[in-house]
Amino acid sequence: MKRPLVVLVYTRTGWDIKNVTSLLPLSVLYLVRPLKQAGFDVALVDQRLDRDWPRTLQRLAPDALFVGVSAMTGAQIGWGLRAAAIVRQAAPLTPLVWGGIHPTLVPGQTAAHPLVDVVVRGEGEQTVVELAHTIAERGDLRRVAGLSFERDGKLSETPDRAQLENLDEALVPDYDAVAIEDYVTTQTLGLRDLAITTSRGCPHHCRYCYNLPYNQRRWRAQSADAVVEHIRLLIARFGVQGVLIKDDNFYADRRRVEAIAEGLRRADLRVTIRGECRADYIARCWDESFLSFLYGSGFREMTVGAESGDDAILSRLGKEITVADIREANQRLRRAGIAVKFTFMTGFPDEDLAAVRRTIDLMLELTDANPLARVTPLHLYAPYPGTPLFETAVTRGYRPPADLAAWADVSFHNLDLPWIDPATSRRLERASVATYFLDRQTVAEYFTGRPLVQTAARLYSQVIRWRCRHMFFRLMPETSLINWYRQRAR
């Protein structure tokens, strides 16, 4: 007997380069195993890599029990609506189910769109299985926890579903569902790597972060043994040299990290690991012996959220760190031989140009003081629904999009905020493009195997560092090329 088919769509982000920026589509990939175990077939459509994805959807939609779309705020919503429109035309009766961070945070507005039939709120591993059975049996959606949908013009919402407690199996995806080589990158110090997650949530309260409304500051994790076995699987099956851990806060539990490190040592798993960490953990809590222990166990790169070079801004963001913590973390990691990538942002309410200058100066200082330090570009702030800083933005004149389609125009590459004048917005947008090349290393590592790109990026970084030192972001013809690519990707 033919098994019912569920089609899952991972949408484009607007900055998708195969084997460079396109990581495993984990948000939908995690749903494959539970659906298969429940008796369903699953087809994944990754818009980032399938150049003929419209035809793929046209072919699959008529036989699908439902089509699921995963989307974050911004460009992914626009691409999700394009996919949904194709499904609706090819198979008008096939339900369109939306999930992910944005539909969870704005379920009512999402469910109101004509190309949305059902919203799955929160984690989908259990909900999507119950939903599939209910649709197959023509049952009552009101009996499935974690759903939002419209009936007769009125919003109907079922009770919230409890979050998963045991993540040991849930966070090991069905790798047979994808062509793994399409998702191998070199984001971990230029090594052949794959992305995974080992935990969900974060116990801290950064005021701009989706985690506050989405996970309510709860942090849950795989056991140390499960993490070690997962890494062993990646090495044995796919020959990875690096593991890019995309947790929001991998280092939240020091004892768990120690157990993972010990497990890797015992198993002699020689792999380089990059994970998310906080500056205060390193600067205030970890001595050199612990950092040396981590280095010897393979933890040789960390991503650290710095965000600003201004203490007042850090305080307003609820970061609970200082610029001194960031500097101290940089020096401790340098001495331990652990590479670090600091993340930075700009465009916040009450941030003046002097604060932006201090942030760019700190980016230069960190990379000058530590040859192992890297920085992200100066990311542009966009108010994220449901967060405390979103509410602040509204009080400062920000007007949220009025419907789901309008959220697609929220851009993380452009600033259109009422507290920033147009001239300053354009200046910060150019600074965001420029600082992508500031650290001399990131672009070169991402493009391992492409020597011409690497050489050009390293040479260009010298120009960018001069621009950053002088805050000179005019006459940048290269931004036209980058913006052309982004518009083309949209």
Cα separation of 23 and 436, whole Å?
A: 19
Q: Are residues 365 and 417 in the same domain?
A: yes
DSSP string, 324-345: HHHHHHHHHHHHHT-EEEEEEE
**Size (the chain), residues:** 490
Q: Which of 47-61, 316-330, 375-389, 434-448 has the lowest mean pLDDT?
A: 434-448
Q: Is residue 76 part of a domain?
A: yes
Question: Which pLDDT score, from 0 to 100, does residue 436 have?
Answer: 83
Q: Are residues 99 and 127 in the same domain?
A: yes
Q: Are residues 141 and 251 in the same domain?
A: no
Residue 488 — pLDDT band, cuts 50, 70, 90?
A: low
Across-strand partners of 344? Answer: 307, 378
| CATH number of the domain that residue 139 is part of | 3.40.50.280
Q: Are residues 342 and 314 in the same domain?
A: yes
3-state secondary structure 24-54: CCHHHHCCHHHHHHCCCEEEEEECCCCCCHH
Q: Are residues 310 and 452 in the same domain?
A: yes
Two structure tokens written together for 409? 């125009």
- For residue 149, give the H/E element and its range: strand 147-151
Question: Which pLDDT score, from 0 to 100, does residue 483 have?
Answer: 61
Q: Is residue 166 part of a domain?
A: no
413 or 396: which leads in pLDDT:
396
User: DSSP assignment, residue 282?
Assistant: I
Out of 157, 186, 215, pick the residue that ends a domain: 157
pTM: 0.92
Q: Are strands 147-151 and 154-157 parallel, antiparallel or unpaired?
A: antiparallel
Q: Which of 13-17, 99-103, 205-209 has the lowest mean pLDDT?
A: 13-17
Which residue type does 203 have? Answer: P
Q: Is residue 221 part of a domain?
A: yes
* Interval 255-275 mean pLDDT: 97
Cα separation of 128 and 103, whole Å?
A: 14
Question: Which pLDDT score, from 0 to 100, does residue 412 have?
Answer: 77
* Interval 78-88 mean pLDDT: 98
Which residue type does 291 have? Answer: L
Query: Do the Cβ atoms of 226 and 168 come closer than 8 Å?
Result: yes
Question: Which pLDDT score, from 0 to 100, does residue 490 have?
Answer: 46
Question: Which pLDDT score, from 0 to 100, does residue 478 have?
Answer: 63
pLDDT digits (tens, 9 = 90+) for 354-409: 999 999 999 999 999 999 999 999 999 999 999 999 999 999 999 999 999 999 98
Residue 188 predicted with pLDDT over 70: yes
Q: Are residues 151 and 183 in the same domain?
A: no
Instruction: Output the CA angle 317-321-323, nearest 5 degrees.
Output: 100
Non-local CB neighbours of 207 within 8 Å, separated by 6+ positions: 316, 317, 318, 387, 388, 389, 392
Q: Is residue 69 part of a domain?
A: yes
- For residue 242, give the H/E element and its range: strand 242-245
Q: Are residues 393 and 439 in the same domain?
A: yes
Question: Which pLDDT score, from 0 to 100, does residue 462 have?
Answer: 84
Residue 486 predicted with pLDDT over 70: no
* Interval 455-475 mean pLDDT: 82
Q: Are residues 195 and 78 in the same domain?
A: no
Which domain, by its residues, includes 91?
Answer: 5-157
Q: Is residue 213 part of a domain?
A: yes
User: DSSP assignment, residue 274?
Assistant: E
**Could you give phi then psi for residue 106, rounded to 5 degrees?**
-130, 60
* Interval 421-434 mean pLDDT: 91
* Interval 457-473 mean pLDDT: 83
Question: Which pLDDT score, from 0 to 100, does residue 411 have?
Answer: 81
Q: Is residue 167 part of a domain?
A: no
Q: Are residues 49 and 79 in the same domain?
A: yes
Q: Is residue 163 part of a domain?
A: no
Two structure tokens written together for 395? 């009080």
Question: Which pLDDT score, from 0 to 100, does residue 452 have?
Answer: 80
Question: First-to-last CA distance in the chain?
Answer: 41
What is the number of structural domains in the chain?
Answer: 2
Q: Are residues 149 and 220 in the same domain?
A: no
Q: Are residues 194 and 153 in the same domain?
A: no
Question: Which pLDDT score, from 0 to 100, does residue 489 have?
Answer: 46
Short-list 199, 267, 202, 279, CA closest to 234? 267
Residue 485 — pLDDT band, cuts 50, 70, 90?
A: low
Residue 487 — pLDDT band, cuts 50, 70, 90?
A: low
Q: Is residue 198 part of a domain?
A: yes
CA distances from 421 to 126, 251, 414, 443 (A): 46, 39, 13, 31
Q: Which of 104-113, 200-209, 415-424, 481-490 has the lowest mean pLDDT?
A: 481-490
Question: Which pLDDT score, from 0 to 100, does residue 79 have?
Answer: 97
In which residue are the tokens 């959606």 written?
Answer: 141
CA 316 to chain centre: 23
Residue 143 — pLDDT band, cuts 50, 70, 90?
A: very high
Cα separation of 134 and 65, whole Å?
A: 10
pLDDT digits (tens, 9 = 90+) for 201-211: 999 999 999 99
Out of 106, 129, 157, pick the residue that ends a domain: 157
Range ranked top by mean pLDDT from 35-44, 427-436, 465-474: 35-44
Mean of pLDDT over the chain: 93
Q: Are residues 111 and 211 in the same domain?
A: no
Q: Other C-beta atoms within 10 Å of 65: how many?
A: 20
* Interval 136-146 mean pLDDT: 97
| CATH number of the domain that residue 179 is part of | 3.20.20.70
Out of 113, 130, 157, pick the residue that ends a domain: 157
